[in-house]
Chains A and B, each alone.
Chain A
Amino acid sequence: MRKVLICAGTGCISSGSPKVTEKFREELAQRGITDIEVYNTGCHGFCEQGPIVIIEPDKTFYCRVEVDDVPEIIEKHLLGGQIVEKVLFHEPQVEKKVEKYTEISFYAKQKRLVLHNCGHINPERIEDYVVSGGYEALKKALTTMSSQEVVDEVKKSGLRGRGGGGFPTGMKWQFTKDAKGDKKYVVCNADEGDPGAFMDRSVLEGDPHAVLEGMAICGYAVGADEGYIYVRAEYPLAIKRLQIAIKQAEEKGYLGENIFGSGFNFRIKIKAGAGAFVCGEETALLTSIEGNRGMPRPRPPFPAVKGLWGKPTNINNVETFANVPLIIKNGADWYAAMGTEGSKGTKIFALTGKVNNTGLVEVPMGITMRQIIFDIGGGIKGGRKFKAVQIGGPSGGCLPEELLDLPVDYDSLIKAGAMMGSGGLVVMDETTCMVDVAKFFLNFTQKESCGKCVPCREGTKRMLEILQKITEGKGEPGDLETLEKLAYNIKSASLCGLGQTAPNPVLSTLRYFRHEYEAHIYDKKCPAGVCSALLQYKILEDKCVGCGACARVCPVGAISGERKQPHKIDPEKCIKCGSCMEKCKFGAIVKG
């Protein structure tokens, strides 16, 4: 029996998958075909190519499917058994069409463990999850293992916190387990606020039960009977699917009272965040659940000892919990066989920016950046030159080309001046200005600083002012030294992770791309042609044919000239929007 799986993750929904689903159902009903099942799945992580339609068991992968393609897919493929060429994926590096998702290099070179269900099951049907081996790990833990054995298994697996800090998960569980108290909590941090990261959202939307199962196992291990999932308000679909998943799990007895007859009770509640990046910091998150302004507090005491409402609380990230069922089901040795010495298992990265294949990439720890960007990501868009990759969001750093062969794990990234962070990877080419990127991140952290401690509140503000000055061409000698001094002070004196890591994007760009800063300050030039205050648009007389297209799009009337004669841009009027350059077919307009 054939199945049509249509992605209904946020990405594909926005590129029109609901209409495609509707059309499939409509067309099949019209033809009276009842033996082909059409259903929606969660995110595949290849959002760039959405809407994605997969035909099973053929493993055919159709992408960017429009409503008008549906009749053809039904007629030709489902009824005629032939592939519909025009909606196949076009592999950018080898210039050919690929039929099966197992052959697409974006997928073929990944190791999808945590994401194995995403895009292949219906996240709103618990049966799908159970059929794929779901809740077996919970059953195994509750019926054959003691709570200490579960903690030991997680310890032995070498799993480290996937929220970015990389703290050994088993150790954290042990602290919570050993903490004194009759009431304990498990909290799942789904406040994925890093710009450029969406792996938690995809797991919650594509395989919500995996997270619930991981939380329940954790509850049993540390002795908690209540769990909270703190989800970003910006993820309405994830919240909806979690609500459905919790209800179904309670109905089936995987959550609630006396699970698997073991006497273990566990309930999970959802808390919708209200929009504050700092709430991803564990103590701020707990304060927020309690109904206060989400401000961090000093540690120790750590949440494991004194967390939610003063009770011992174990808090882990979405991806960390999603790894737990795999470890319990397959054993710690199986898990620890993957990855590097200090970082085990796989990590999901959100690969975005100027790369051909953007999307979610799950790879074993220790893979090199080059393999991720070039083998899986298909290289740089438009054949441009790679300049840097930004890893770890606002708390991470930019790595240059010479570090592309660095094996990616927690420790190597820290050494290189970045950090794992939540796993956002933003690829940048020669048209990206590194000073602008640093300013972008600092602007973000400065806005999101909660204001509780002075180094972060005032320090990021001052750093941002200096960067602003540099990008406007008003930089002076000594600015870079001041930036560095501020950065180190903020890092060492801030209260929480937000402030302690906020200067990283600046420090890493200063370390690897100092010449760009210097070009802005001393030559008053932006080498990448991004910082508009340092740019001038010019028309090359020998290339201009005088068609007037540029003058027509100029929003401020800064371009003048006779027909068929070279035109001119008045630098006084020009607002440097770049419309003229985009419009010119003759390459006659340059900036610099």
Chain B
Amino acid sequence: MCSLVCACGKEVTDPKKEKLKELLVQYQGQKGALIPVLQGAQEIYGYLPKDVMEEISSSLKIPFSKVYGVATFYAQFHLKPRGRNVVRACLGTACHVRGGAKVFEAIKNELGVGDGETTPDLRFTVESVACIGACGLAPVIMVNDDTYGRLTPDKVKEILAKYE
């Protein structure tokens, strides 16, 4: 299951598959395991490929339709590959009244993608979020786990340049 045969005849193991296997063993038979397993799987793969969800479905003995249903319900789960860097523009109330939309526009223009989209070179995924809870610094964006506050549209370029 986890081994692939290389052209030279050697068996190689896929480290991601190994990790997924460990994860499934860890949650075997636990109540309410589906969401933490999906979170863990997304941690490993960066998103939720179909075959991974099928694997989860058969391992946890949960119908695939339900796995798919849960994965599409929550904003955190992604069924398509994501950029290496995720830019989250906050459009919460405080950011909204302090001009968050303009900052978001500047990001989209700079990267040439829309909300929820990924640049073709997989460098950035851009998404809007409702509130990241740093309202005191509005308007705010997050790139991966770094938060940038008190922004104006002209600062966007410089921030994005830091991420490869």
A binds B: yes
| A residues apposed to B, CB below 8 Å | 10-11, 13-15, 45-48, 50, 192-198, 201, 233-236, 271-277, 288-294, 309, 350, 352-354, 358-359, 390, 393, 424, 426, 428, 432, 437, 440-441, 444, 448, 450, 577-578
5 closest Cβ contacts across the A-B interface?
A: A47-B136, A14-B147, A275-B75, A195-B92, A274-B74
**A-side contacts of B91, CB under 8 Å:** 195
**B-side contacts of A234, CB under 8 Å:** 129, 132-133
B3 within 8 A of A: no
Query: Which of B105, B129, B134 has most A Cβ within 10 Å?
Result: B134
The answer to whether A196 and B92 touch across the interface, beta carbons within 8 angstroms, is: yes
B158 within 8 A of A: no
Known: A234-B129, A274-B74, A275-B75. 18 other contacts (CB 8 A): A11-B137, A11-B147, A14-B137, A14-B149, A50-B137, A195-B93, A235-B133, A274-B75, A274-B77, A275-B76, A276-B74, A276-B75, A291-B33, A292-B34, A292-B70, A426-B93, A577-B102, A578-B102
**A-side contacts of B76, CB under 8 Å:** 233, 273-275
Query: Which of B131, B136, B138 has most A Cβ within 10 Å?
Result: B136
A16 → chain B closest CB, angstroms: 10
**A-side contacts of B73, CB under 8 Å:** 276, 293-294, 450
The answer to whether A444 and B35 touch across the interface, beta carbons within 8 angstroms, is: no
The CA of A410 and the CA of B31, in the complex, are separated in Å by 37
**B-side contacts of A353, CB under 8 Å:** 93-94, 97-98
The answer to whether A195 and B130 touch across the interface, beta carbons within 8 angstroms, is: yes
B57 within 8 A of A: no
**B-side contacts of A46, CB under 8 Å:** 136
The answer to whether A198 and B75 touch across the interface, beta carbons within 8 angstroms, is: no
**B-side contacts of A294, CB under 8 Å:** 73-74
| B residues apposed to A, CB below 8 Å | 31-36, 38-39, 66, 69-70, 73-77, 91-94, 96-98, 102, 105, 129-138, 140, 145-150
**A-side contacts of B69, CB under 8 Å:** 293
B74: contacting residue among A45, A235, A275, A289, CB under 8 A: A275
The CA of A411 and the CA of B132, in the complex, are separated in Å by 29
The answer to whether B97 and A309 touch across the interface, beta carbons within 8 angstroms, is: no
Instruction: Offer 22 A-B interface pairs, CB within 8 angstroms, sorted by A.
Output: A10-B132, A10-B133, A10-B134, A11-B136, A14-B146, A47-B137, A50-B136, A195-B91, A198-B134, A234-B133, A272-B36, A274-B77, A275-B74, A352-B93, A352-B94, A352-B135, A352-B136, A353-B94, A354-B98, A424-B93, A432-B97, A450-B73
The answer to whether B130 and A277 touch across the interface, beta carbons within 8 angstroms, is: yes
**B-side contacts of A11, CB under 8 Å:** 134, 136-137, 147, 149
The CA of A577 and the CA of B138, in the complex, are separated in Å by 19
The answer to whether B133 and A440 touch across the interface, beta carbons within 8 angstroms, is: no
Query: Which of A14, A276, A288, A350 has most B Cβ within 10 Å?
Result: A14
Query: Looking across the interface, which residue of chain A has its beta carbon closest to that of B88?
Result: A234
The CA of A192 and the CA of B96, in the complex, are separated in Å by 18
The CA of A374 and the CA of B115, in the complex, are separated in Å by 37
Query: Looking across the interface, which residue of chain B has its beta carbon closest to that of A48?
Result: B136
A518 → chain B closest CB, angstroms: 22
The CA of A428 and the CA of B136, in the complex, are separated in Å by 15
A100 → chain B closest CB, angstroms: 21
**B-side contacts of A193, CB under 8 Å:** 130-131
Given the known interface contacts A10-B133, A201-B133, A353-B93, the answer about A290 and B140 at a Cβ–Cβ threshold of 8 Å is no
**B-side contacts of A48, CB under 8 Å:** 136-137
**B-side contacts of A274, CB under 8 Å:** 35, 38-39, 74-77
A291 → chain B closest CB, angstroms: 4
The answer to whether A14 and B148 touch across the interface, beta carbons within 8 angstroms, is: yes
B128 → chain A closest CB, angstroms: 10
The answer to whether B137 and A354 touch across the interface, beta carbons within 8 angstroms, is: no
The answer to whether B131 and A195 touch across the interface, beta carbons within 8 angstroms, is: yes
Query: Looking across the interface, which residue of chain A has its beta carbon closest to that of B73?
Result: A293
**B-side contacts of A10, CB under 8 Å:** 132-134, 147
Query: Looking across the interface, which residue of chain A has its beta carbon closest to that of B77?
Result: A274
B66 → chain A closest CB, angstroms: 8
**B-side contacts of A236, CB under 8 Å:** 145
Query: Which of A10, A192, A441 has most B Cβ within 10 Å?
Result: A10
The answer to whether B93 and A440 touch across the interface, beta carbons within 8 angstroms, is: yes
Query: Looking across the interface, which residue of chain B has its beta carbon closest to that of A444?
Result: B130
The answer to whether A192 and B140 touch across the interface, beta carbons within 8 angstroms, is: no
The CA of A13 and the CA of B105, in the complex, are separated in Å by 25
Query: Looking across the interface, which residue of chain B has its beta carbon closest to that of A431?
Result: B97
The answer to whether B137 and A15 touch across the interface, beta carbons within 8 angstroms, is: yes
Query: Looking across the interface, which residue of chain A has its beta carbon closest to that of B141?
Result: A14
**B-side contacts of A291, CB under 8 Å:** 31-35, 70
